[in-house]
Each structure stands twice: as C-alpha cells, then as structure tokens.
Amino acid sequence: DSGVTQTPKHLITATGQRVTLRCSPRSGDLSVYWYQQSLDQGLQFLIQYYNGEERAKGNILERFSAQQFPDLHSELNLSSLELGDSALYFCASSVAQAPGSYEQYFGPGTRLTVT
Amino acid sequence: AQTVTQSQPEMSVQEAETVTLSCTYDTSESDYYLFWYKQPPSRQMILVIRQEAYKQQNATENRFSVNFQKAAKSFSLKISDSQLGDAAMYFCAYRSGGGADGLTFGKGTHLIIQP
C-alpha cells in the first residue's frame, strides 16, 4: 500500500458525460501528479500540482482539468467524454517537486470506461 | 521533448536465472533522473529502482541493479535470481532535474517467469 488513495476504483459512464476522479496523497506529500494509462497511448503524464498550484502540464486535453485543494487532495475532471478516454487514471504524490530525486508514489488507479 | 524507448515488448526467463531489460532515452538535458517501475497484474505501479544522472555509480536494490551508460543514454535493468513474483510489466521512466516534474515512460516490457 503506497499510502495514496483514489476513488472510485471503477467508473462506467456514457459518451458526452462528465466525471470527477479523486485523489488523496500520502500524508506530508505536497505534490500530486495525474497520469493516464491506455492501450493506445501507454502511460502519459497529464498534470502536476504542488501545494495547491499548477506546476507542470503534460498531454492533458482541454476537456480535462484538475485542481488541488487546501487539504492537498486533488480532483481530475473529465468532460465531454469520448470512447477514447477509457483508460486507467493514476494519481501519484511526492513530498516535494524538482529538483531532487523525489520518489513518486502511485495510487491504485481509477478504471474509467466510456460506453 | 524527452523520449524513452523500450525495445523489448516481452521477455521470458527461467526462475532463478538472470534477465536484463533494455531502455534507451533521448534528452538534451544534463540533469535528470531515471526510474524503473514494476506493474504486476494488480496494476499497481511500484518503484523498483532509481538513478540520478550525476551519479556515476550504478544503483542497486537487492536483486535489482542497473547499468547506466550516460554517454550512450542507456539504462538497463538486471534482475538476478528471478522469482515468480517478478512477473510483471516493467516501465522505464525519465524525469527532468528541474522544471517539469512529470515522468516520461517507455511502452513497457512484459516479463514472464518460467517455473
């Protein structure tokens, strides 16, 4: 158990809908990262937050957005869902941000299925 | 942009034998970190080993060791005394030393352990 929690574990929804994925980082970790794992694209970095502020953006679509709240939990919002958004979404956390070889600890993921 | 290449989609090894997984990367940065993650059938992402680019000494964690060749931009993972529990997808990942903090992953190598 990495100490990172994600809810829900599974989510099934229809095209065009909007969903929210939730992540709670390890106690003491200030950075939260979101990743998408799909058969087509592999593992892709989406976005990073550090202590409530956006720090880095990866291959995140405009239909997707995220935020980190004062208690450091984070939410990833996916809207106007398409079949291709079906994937495993991981949240990871680390104690700090670059520089430094801080480990990123991954949560168990949320499996999103868009039908 | 950085890229990570894992040229072996699948590898097979006999239990108790040694196997080496290959990874190459492309970057123009001098400060960066490299990681190997393991993803068993449970889909949990588990950090196996990390290497700081500024360190010449290869990292070792119990039965896992790396061969880091900075000039060749190569970062292979050696697993000694392979065990059935080592069966998993293995991902090589890159992270910049500063600025953007997200991990760039390779496409993974599926490791099969033959009893």
Checking if the pLDDT of B100 tops 70, the result is no
Chain B interface includes A54 (CB < 8 A): no
Buried b (16+ CB within 10 A) or exposed e, A66-88: bebeeebebbbebeebeeebbbb
- C-alpha span between B98 and B8 (Å, rounded): 30
Burial (0-12, 13-18, 19+ Cβ within 10 Å), A18: exposed
Note whether B68 and B78 are within 8 A (CB).
no
Residue numbers in B near A40 (CB within 8 A): none
Higher pLDDT, A36 or A39: A36
Chain A nearest-CA residue for B45:
A106
Tell me the backbone φ, ψ of residue B96, rounded to 5 degrees: -65, 150
Chain B nearest-CA residue for A89:
B43
Instruction: List the single range of A12-21, A29-38, A94-103 with lowest mean pLDDT.
Output: A94-103
Checking if the pLDDT of A102 tops 80, the result is no
Are A48 and B47 inside 8 Å of each other by CB? no
Q: What percent of chain A has pLDDT over 70?
A: 95
Q: Quote the radius of gyration of chain B (alpha carbons, Å).
A: 14
Chain A interface includes B9 (CB < 8 A): no
Checking if the pLDDT of A99 tops 80, the result is no
